[in-house]
Amino acid sequence: MPNLNNLAFAERPREKMLSHGPECLSNAELLAIILGKGQKGKDVLTLAKEVVDKLSVLEEDPSLEIFTRIDGIGPGKGCQILASLEFSRRFLVSRKKLKIRRPQDALPVLGSLRESPQENFVVLTLDGSNQLIKVHPVTVGLANQSQIHPRETFHPAVQDRAVSIMVAHNHPSGNLEPSESDLAATRRLVDASKTLGIPVLDHIIVAESGFLSLRERHPECFV
């Protein structure tokens, strides 16, 4: 991730949020806004990226002790992070389900995917009101999309009694253009969905630079 001082003014986290909304920011950029500033020798974006990297591999609940082990995170900044996580849990996660009507609506639950150094494929199961039931990881470290099998993709949908699904994967390279393998995998999933009666609403490609909807770019894959 670039140093904050090397970014154009319009590309800095706060200005980017004002122009494009919070869903267009990476996890590190969102956290940089919460932290406000870094420390001597470590700008806020670099510091935020270290915290996000720690959270992405954490197998236990985050705690103040865990955050203060990161150079540049003292008790004050650690409390800021914990407070923001708890606030989100109370007012967003517990109060309402995420409703996904457009590809953009899914971005809040795909943040970790955008920043992963490996290619990951996930399935989002949705109920009859297009509310998110759960995000299920399917594969990690893909060589290409031909490894995606309808069986693994639709298994969680059947378990969740989902009415429809969206699928998503990331391009660590940052290039959002779909490969022929991406398109072929989408067609296979759509064909399988017709038999199962669980439509595939979209296949989203995400990267730090943004996202791409295959339904919008290649609607022929969904016929």
Task: Say what the pLDDT of residue 222 is.
Answer: 96
Residues of the chain with pLDDT under 70: 1-5, 92-96, 142-147
What does the domain layout of the chain look like in residue ranges? Answer: 4-93, 103-222
Task: Say what the pLDDT of residue 87 is.
Answer: 85
Task: Say what the pLDDT of residue 221 is.
Answer: 95
Task: Say what the pLDDT of residue 90 is.
Answer: 73
- The mean pLDDT value of the chain amounts to 88
Nearest CA-CA partner of 106 in 129, 86, 88, 131: 131
Place of tokens 């955050």: 67
Task: Say what the pLDDT of residue 115 is.
Answer: 77
Nearest CA-CA partner of 205 in 149, 99, 179: 179
Q: Cα 164 to chain center, whole Å? A: 19
Cα-based angle 3, 11, 216 (whole degrees, multiple of 5): 125
Helix or strand holding residue 169 (H, E): strand 164-170
Helix or strand holding residue 137 (H, E): strand 132-140
Domain spanning 103-222 has what CATH number? 3.40.140.10
